[in-house]
A and B are shown apart, each in its own frame.
Chain A
Amino acid sequence: MLSGNPAYSPPLFESIATATGNGSSGTITFSSIPSTYQHLQIRLQVIASGGGGESIRFNSDTGNNYARHSVGGNGSSVFSSGTASTNQIFIGDDAAATNPATMIIDIHDYASTTKNKTVRSRFGHDRNGAGSVYLYSGVWLNTNAVTSLSLGIGLFGGIFDTGTVASLYGIKGA
């Protein structure tokens, strides 16, 4: 550090990669995720004229190695549910054309090789008279480090349209 200059502070929240919808695929995959962060965060805006809820899988695992819980509301009623031994974690309730559905997804201690992986998602989608808000938690029952993750829509059978933006960030530990 030169005299008179502030000390360098390395960034704690870094962009790793970004992907966008193309109107022909219902899966967005981030691969070769470095293990140098403490946690991951995904900020996801979804445009999908075909609708469908959003999901996440890790390391291409399509087995029944996931579980999930949720609490949500649709403007008049509230809901809570849970599913054990399933093949994906729900992170969003729906999507539409024109009005984006949005999510902030946190994946904690993703590089651990001794712990199962816990996921949290905050979802919201309003269409001026319709829409929903949900909080999700999920677990991947696997102690491998997360090196890739896939975001899907419509149980991985829908389409992410143009206007969909998925941004993967790494959060540093001390």
Chain B
Amino acid sequence: MPATYEPIATTTLSTAASSITFSSIPSTYTDLRVVFVGTGTTSVGLKARFNGDTGTNYSYTELFGNGTGVFSGRGTSLNYFSLDPQRNLSTTIPIMNTLDVFSYAGSTNKTTLVTQSDDENGVGVILNMAHLWRSTSAINEISLLVFSSTITAGSIATLYGIKNA
């Protein structure tokens, strides 16, 4: 049987940058997975966009625990995916996010399952989210970005493709 879980691209920032972008994503997979581990040069929220879309076409529902309780929330009609709505990137401790993008090359709207794993020795959050991008376009570009700050050098993002039979 052929390999079905393949790395497409990895970016390790050599200098701080406001975004990491995977472009020209081939349409030959069924699902995509992005794994990010990194920090911010300031405490700043990590966002994502598909195909450079800055319209208010993004929304999410979240379930999270912060060490004291369990909560659920949501955001609607946003112009980005918020990958850490409860805790920003730390400046010192790497935060891990995973994004599982289903049927990214298909003609339905796009749902993404997101996790955030963040422990900062006394504070932190574990979070599961469902993100919706209201677009039937195939995804050919994924950007991770921060506003008014930068992602620290050394932060790593890897894009994987998952192919079905």
A and B together in one complex: yes
Determine whether the beta carbon of A124 is less than 8 Å from that of B103. no
Cα distance A11–B60 when bound, in Å?
Answer: 34
- How many contacting A-B pairs (Cβ < 8 A)? 151
Which residues from chain A contact B131 at a C-beta distance below 8 Å?
124, 126
Determine whether the beta carbon of B62 is less than 8 Å from that of A11. no
Determine whether the beta carbon of A18 is less than 8 Å from that of B165. yes
Determine whether the beta carbon of A126 is less than 8 Å from that of B30. no
Which residues from chain B contact A78 at a C-beta distance below 8 Å?
63, 70-72
Which residues from chain A contact B113 at a C-beta distance below 8 Å?
102, 104, 122, 124
A165, closest chain B residue (CB): B103
Judged by DSSP, the binding face of A is strand
Cα distance A132–B59 when bound, in Å?
Answer: 12
Determine whether the beta carbon of B128 is less than 8 Å from that of A167. no
B72 → A minimal CB distance (Å): 2
Contact A75-B5, Cβ < 8 Å, known A18-B164, A104-B113, A165-B30: no
Cα distance A45–B70 when bound, in Å?
Answer: 26
Cα distance A133–B129 when bound, in Å?
Answer: 6
- A135's partner among B72, B107, B128 (CB-CB below 8 A) is B128
Decide if A143 is an interface residue (CB 8 Å cutoff): no
Determine whether the beta carbon of B74 is less than 8 Å from that of A17. no
B37 → A minimal CB distance (Å): 20
Which residues from chain A contact B108 at a C-beta distance below 8 Å?
45, 47, 98-100, 163
Cα distance A28–B165 when bound, in Å?
Answer: 15
Decide if A155 is an interface residue (CB 8 Å cutoff): no
Contact A75-B111, Cβ < 8 Å, known A102-B130, A124-B61, A169-B4: no
Determine whether the beta carbon of B4 is less than 8 Å from that of A15. yes
Determine whether the beta carbon of A129 is less than 8 Å from that of B59. yes
Decide if A101 is an interface residue (CB 8 Å cutoff): yes
Which residues from chain B contact A126 at a C-beta distance below 8 Å?
59-61, 74, 111, 130-132
Decide if A33 is an interface residue (CB 8 Å cutoff): no
Which residues from chain B contact A58 at a C-beta distance below 8 Å?
none
Determine whether the beta carbon of B109 is less than 8 Å from that of A43. no
Cα distance A14–B113 when bound, in Å?
Answer: 21
Determine whether the beta carbon of B31 is less than 8 Å from that of A43. yes
Cα distance A43–B160 when bound, in Å?
Answer: 15
For the complex of A and B, list the 7 residue pairs with the smallest distance between their C-beta atoms, beginning with the closest. A73-B72, A124-B130, A75-B74, A11-B3, A167-B164, A13-B5, A128-B59
Known: A73-B63, A74-B72, A169-B162. 20 other contacts (CB 8 A): A14-B3, A43-B102, A71-B63, A71-B70, A73-B73, A75-B72, A77-B72, A99-B108, A99-B109, A100-B102, A100-B103, A126-B61, A126-B74, A128-B59, A128-B132, A131-B61, A131-B130, A133-B61, A134-B63, A167-B165
Chain A contact residues, CB within 8 Å of chain B: 11-18, 43, 45, 47, 71-78, 98-102, 104, 122-129, 131-135, 163, 165, 167, 169
Ordered by A's residue number, 15 sampled pairs between the chains whose C-beta atoms are within 8 Å are A15-B4, A18-B164, A43-B30, A47-B108, A101-B111, A102-B113, A124-B114, A126-B74, A129-B74, A131-B74, A131-B130, A134-B63, A167-B31, A167-B162, A169-B5
